[in-house]
Structure 1
Amino acid sequence: MSAPGARLYPLRLTVTAKPLVFGGHAIARRLGKSGIPDWSVAETWECSDVTGLSGVVTEGPLTGRSLRQLVADHPGELLGAGRSGRCFPLLTKFIDAAGALPVHLHADDEAARRLEGQANGKTEAWHILAAAPGATALCGVREGVTAGRLRAALQAQDFDAVLRRLPVRAGETIYVPGGTPHSFGPDTLVYEIEQTSDIQQHAMRWRMEDGAAVSDAEFDANLDLLMRQVRLESRPEFTPGLRIAVGDGAERVFLCAGPYFALERWTSAGPVRHAFATARVLSNVGAPVRVRSGDWDGELGRAQTLLLPASCREAELTGPADVLFGYLPDLDRDVRAPLLDAGHSRQVIATLGAVD
């Protein structure tokens, strides 16, 4: 139930900075994000409701309320009509892969419930903000590789023998289903959107928190659980996205879409309006931009994020703007219909992830 008299508005949330061993300084120095520590940062969790790391509102009447509390108190207003849940279902991050991420995977929903005791798994997508020439990613198992061969290669740390290595280019996006082994970096800057979860199984002999060695017994146990969760058939591809003009000098690019989330990138030289029926996570990847929604008016700085509750219904951005909108999609209404109307075929729309 909503608190009496409560009213939602665009929400600024606390951000968690993660000092993992593959990180660097690109989130602050390249994207221009302020307010994070002046040490090597691998990830900033922009909108999180992971247990123990739930974002907290930092301004306005709801200051001090956690995202978890808002989901409980205002499910329809926050998420959208008829929606509810135990937590906010989207997790978004900036990731600086100055070094290579560990090879790992996240369980899908079924494996998470069966093997991890978790309510859901973690399907994710990476939108590439910047990448050095020749940058690559590992994503998915090569066709024809058996489970036994995969296990032996991971044991030997011979990843290229069994995993697909893909070229990485700025502006492209890849939708990565749960159960897909993957890694990216070095020299790669990513915006990631995913299901709210922190479950993962690594195939490395070192810890990503501090680089410390993993014992043989722990390494073997990690591989055993990874092999019970891997989807050998998952082989996703990068896509440049699908474009729609939304006005003079404004463009909307559908980057990825599936049942758990969708992600769009909007660019505009002048003012642009975005109407919505479900919650939007708005992250700025360009110069500071002014955002207006109802009575709320504020600046969104470089690499900063706002959570727009569904009850806001609309946001206006001043130009020039270069922003990302992550959201809970109605695939027919929010993805298929506008893309079909713009002349994109169903076959092409399916390349965005899991839109079938």
Structure 2
Amino acid sequence: MTVIAKPLVFGGHAIARRLGKAGIPDWSVAETWECSDVTGSGTVVTNGPLAGRPLRRVVADHPEALMGDGWVGEYFPVLTKFIDAAGSLPVHLHADDEAAQRLEGQPNGKTEAWHILHAAPGATALCGVKEGVTSDRLRAALEAQDFDAVLRRLPVRAGETVYVPGGTLHSFGPDTLVYEIEQTSDIQQHAMRWQMEDGSRVSDAEFGSHLDMLMRQVDLETRPDFTPGLAVAVGDGVERVFLCAGPYFALERWHAGTEEPVRHSFATAQILSNVGGPVRVRSGEWREELGPAETLLLPAACGHVEITGPADVLFGYLPDLDRDVRGPLLEAGYPPRVIDSLGPRAGPLEGE
């Protein structure tokens, strides 16, 4: 897939220099969109028989081969990014589905999750409103830019993940490198007096308008926490870690420390991102080397992939929660209440 590099003001050079990603501009890069079907920022297939086709076209022409039997949709439902928060991200939120449809005229909101690849000692994130904070108090603090008075500040550690529902006020950085998975959307409402594109000042009138919309979308009750994920041994020196899971996406990290390969079977499209050294990837007769911080989109029709170890890779996908998440974790001995820590409805279904 092609990569879209975003030069936002909080970015740096860690995606290239720490992760080893090649082929991106030498200037400060805040985000690389690895797999995207966002209108106006869609990625394009770069190899194979569909090379040169935008992801949106692949979805239209081959929906079941890409996403699995019975799937229908107008666009690819999952967006993934590397984010270099060399500086702090703006305090902002993304609408949930209901608010996106009611207030933004969009088909869906943007729930997301952050998997921390690197964080400097003492790194923190703002995530969710403190318990007991009223809407009026929140608005006053945002107007004063006094974020710590009303928002939860959480410690950030490499290897942990947090599932962030739409409507949650948040920020992270500085000195934090993240892999983000989310619903396909670019809607957001900021609480800052500067533009994240170039740092220019936001006028008082525009700032007030932003806050008006933000306050109509904010969720005062959601307070997500970081989790280490749930590990399952799947071979000699091969570990599968479920990092997060919910109705919109799931994310796993697989480590292979020996020559035994990662062997993964699947029934829906897999976004495969390499967060380690170069690896060799094989599916059927097809083979390719995947470099550091490169991403492949494996269609459901492939069904199986083998990655030669040692390897450190991420798989992101739209899950069938029972089949893809709950089943393997229950079989591994995890109780439903623990599985539920991965995200909404990843564990017990209603009535269980």
1:337 to 327, 332, 336: 327
User: 1:202-242: per-residue Cα shift (whole Å, max 9, x none)?
Assistant: 00000000000000000000000000000111100000000
Partner of 2:350: none
1:272 is displaced (CA, Å) by 1.9
Structure 1 counterpart of 2:112, one-letter code: E
Q: Amino acid of the residue matched to residue 302 of structure 1?
A: P
Shift in Å at residue 63 of structure 1?
A: 1.5
Q: Segments of 4+ in structure 1 off by > 2 A?
A: none
Q: How many angstroms apart in 1 are the aligned matches of 2:335 and 2:151?
A: 31
Partner of 1:233: 221
Partner residue in 1 for 2:151: 163
Letter in 1 for 2:195: R
After superposition, give the CA deviation of every residue in 1:20-67 in whole Å (9 maximum; x if it has no partner): 000000000000000000000000000000001111111222121000
Task: Report the secondary structure of 1:194's partner residue.
Answer: strand
Unaligned runs of 5+ in 1: 1-12
**Paired position in structure 2 for 1:252:** 240
What is the alpha-carbon distance in structure 2 between the residues aligned to residue 70 and residue 147 of structure 1? 44
Task: State the match for 2:292 in structure 1.
Answer: 302
Identity of aligned residues (%): 79
Match in the other structure for 1:280: 270
SS in 1 for 2:10: coil
Aligned letter for 2:6? Answer: K
Structure 2 segments unaligned to the other structure (5+ residues):
348-352
| CA RMSD of superposed structures (Å) | 0.6
CA contact (8 A) 2:254 2:262 kept: no
Of 107, 110, 129, which residue of structure 2 is paired with 1:122?
110
Query: What secondary structure sits across from 2:139 in the alignment?
Result: helix
Cα drift, residue 271 of structure 1: 1.1
- Of 261, 270, 291, the residue aligned with 1:271 is 261
SS at match of 1:238: coil
1:227 counterpart SS class: helix
1:190 is paired with a residue whose SS is strand
Please state how far the C-alpha of 1:175 moved relative to its aligned partner. Answer: 0.1
2:74 maps to amino acid: R
Q: TM-score, normalised by structure 1?
A: 0.96
User: Which deviates further from its counterpart, 90-99 or 51-60?
Assistant: 51-60
Identify the residue that residue 200 of structure 1 maps to in structure 2.
Answer: 188
- Using the alignment, how far apart are the partners of 1:338 and 1:167 within structure 2? 30
CA separation in 1, counterparts of 2:224 and 2:167? 12
> How many angstroms apart in 2 are the aligned matches of 1:169 and 1:323?
18
* 2:61 paired with 1:68: no
Counterpart in the other structure of 1:149: 137
- Looking at structure 2, the residues matched to 79 and 272 of structure 1 have their Cα atoms a distance apart, in angstroms, of 22
Deviation digits for residues 232-276 of structure 1, max 9, x if unmatched?
A: 111000000000000011000000000000000000122121000
Once residues 333 and 279 of structure 1 are traced to their aligned partners in structure 2, the CA distance between those partners, rounded to angstroms, is 14
TM-score where L is the length of structure 2: 0.97
